[in-house]
Structure 1
């Protein structure tokens, strides 16, 4: 049986990815990209929070503040890399 802390962190990170997909839209491939990106960002933020001993918004052993900031930051970065360009290109 998986550790409850791991399951809780996994659910939070998945919710970040799904909420980002609901707000910005896209196809199923982008949804998977956003979910995986939020998992990676949450994991990196968790390690940064543990390394720097950040105790702000800490739930048990989960460093929620740095994990959330890193996950959202990577989600914005992934969206910027995969977004369709909206600036019209001059064809002169």
Structure 2
């Protein structure tokens, strides 16, 4: 029997705690998740991975707010495109 797992990865899942929100911290979390997913695949699971980005969009919009005196604001759809470009 094939087992199916749908994994929502991204957003808050990638943030271990408030002290670990940097890009290197997120990278470390993604590497650990990749190992876990590899283990699932080796165990016979079919895996579908989806991506969320709530906190990451928030970071982009916050940077935009902070820089309003110098540059125009970043619209929400541009922030989403920024994340898509970063993820690949």
TM-score by length of 2: 0.35
- Is the helix fraction higher in 1 or 2? 1
Q: Which has the higher contact order (CA 8 A, sep 6+)?
A: 2
- Is the strand fraction higher in 1 or 2? 2
